[in-house]
Amino acid sequence: MPPTLDDLLDRLHVVALPMRVRFRDIEVREVALIDGPSGWGEFGAFVEYAPPEAAHWLAAGIEAAYGAPPTPRRDRIPINATVPAVDADRVPEVLARFPGARTAKVKVAEAGQTLGDDVARVEAVRALVPAVRVDANGGWTVEQAVAAATALTAGGPLEYLEQPCATVPELAEVRRRVSVPVAADESIRKATDPLRVVRERAADVAVVKVAPLGGVGRLLDVAAQIDVPVVVSSALDTAVGMSRGLLAAACLPELPFACGLGTGSLFVDDVAEQAPAVDGTLPVAAVAPEPARLAALAAPPDRRRWWIDRIAACLPLTSPSRV
């Protein structure tokens, strides 16, 4: 059974982390942290998500704070660099925050930008990192995705196109028309049926995230039913949430791709000092926030109240199977 609301609120810390660069139109990342009997959990559903979707994220935080962790198979995880939709001349500055990374995920299809901007950004990354993948967050039509696949591979290969279009049928059509592998993210983490994208042969790679799926246990259950390679990624997590992503990746039987678990470097400051990447990998370990950082990064009282109200709305929607 989920914990009581009173118990959750007694253990709650709400923090606001400034971003180094705008990411998903976010300049300050707010999350609620739970100091639980089993460790720290994180509830960081993006603010626009309604309670039915945000409840999965709360379930993931409760799992971390109150549940027993699974046993990992490995102690270090290869990570990709993450390059937001910055101008091409800022790419070296961004990549410098990911020492040793040999794979980079580049954000494309940003509102207000052009395919030419995307190509310039990808080429700037390709000059510094050997393996490049792009993420459109569902921002293209089928025809735009097909054109982008051609333009973005003119200067070299892409590891995959992540969520080029919004719907599963569109992904399937893009996959039939391009030679670049197609990865699904939102079509898994935001779907009521996360396995549909695989059944309909709409993806070559599945990008899975702990919080949107409801926890490490749920992620591992979904991954076991997916017959394409899996990449574990973050949802702009703090060091607390990132530790759960690293744990999930460490528990998978196979890990053929670098994981998107290095986004902590996008924060000006975090709730805990993250271990530095070594040869493009991060260690698997539980994380406890530092009290001084929690105090310094505490959200204003009105925002804490907003998160308390949100938890009260989401808690009744958390399924016992998710916590």
Residues forming beta bridges with residue 104, ordered by sequence position: 81, 132
- Record the pTM: 0.92
Q: Return mean pLDDT, the chain.
A: 94
Question: If 0-12 CB within 10 Å is exposed, 13-18 middle and 19+ buried, where does residue 148 land?
Answer: buried
User: Given this model, what pLDDT does residue 14 score?
Assistant: 98
Residues 6+ apart with CB under 8 A from 126: 132, 155, 156
27 is in an annotated binding site: no
Q: How confident is the model at residue 321 (pLDDT cuts 50, 70, 90)?
A: very low
Residues 6+ apart with CB under 8 A from 170: 141, 142, 145, 164
User: Given this model, what pLDDT does residue 192 score?
Assistant: 75
93 is in an annotated binding site: no
Distance (Å, whole) CA 135 – CA 84: 10
Topology annotation, domain 5-69+290-317: Enolase-like; domain 1 (3.30.390)
For 76-283, CATH number?
Answer: 3.20.20.120
Residues forming beta bridges with residue 17, ordered by sequence position: 29
Average pLDDT of 244-262? 96
User: Given this model, what pLDDT does residue 240 score?
Assistant: 98
162 is in an annotated binding site: yes
Provide the pairing of β-strand 76-78 with 81-83: unpaired
Helix axis angle, 301-314 to 51-66, nearest 10°: 90
Helix H or strand E encompassing 77 = strand 76-78
The pair phi, psi for residue 63, each rounded to 5°, is -55, -45
pLDDT tens-digit series, residues 197-225: 988 999 999 999 999 999 999 999 999 99
pLDDT tens-digit series, residues 145-186: 999 999 999 999 999 999 999 999 999 999 999 999 999 998
Question: If 0-12 CB within 10 Å is exposed, 13-18 middle and 19+ buried, where does residue 40 land?
Answer: buried
Q: Taking Cα atoms as reference points, which of 156, 161, 212 lies closest to residue 182?
A: 161
User: Is the Cα torsion angle 203, 204, 210, 216 positive or negative in sign?
Assistant: positive
pLDDT at 322 over 50: no
Query: Which long-range contacts link 272-275 to residues 24+ away (Cβ below 8 Å)?
Result: 272/238, 272/239, 272/240, 273/239, 274/239, 274/242
Q: Taking Cα atoms as reference points, which of 235, 149, 236, 133 lies closest to residue 188?
A: 235
pLDDT at 92 over 90: yes
User: Given this model, what pLDDT does residue 22 score?
Assistant: 82
Active site residues: 107, 209
Instruction: Render 39-72 in DSSP notation, one character per residue.
Output: SEEEE---TT--HHHHHHHHHHHHHHHHSPPPPP
How does DSSP classify residue 133? E
Helix H or strand E encompassing 175 = helix 168-177
Question: Which residue ranges make up each domain of the chain?
Answer: 5-69+290-317, 76-283
How does DSSP classify residue 97? T
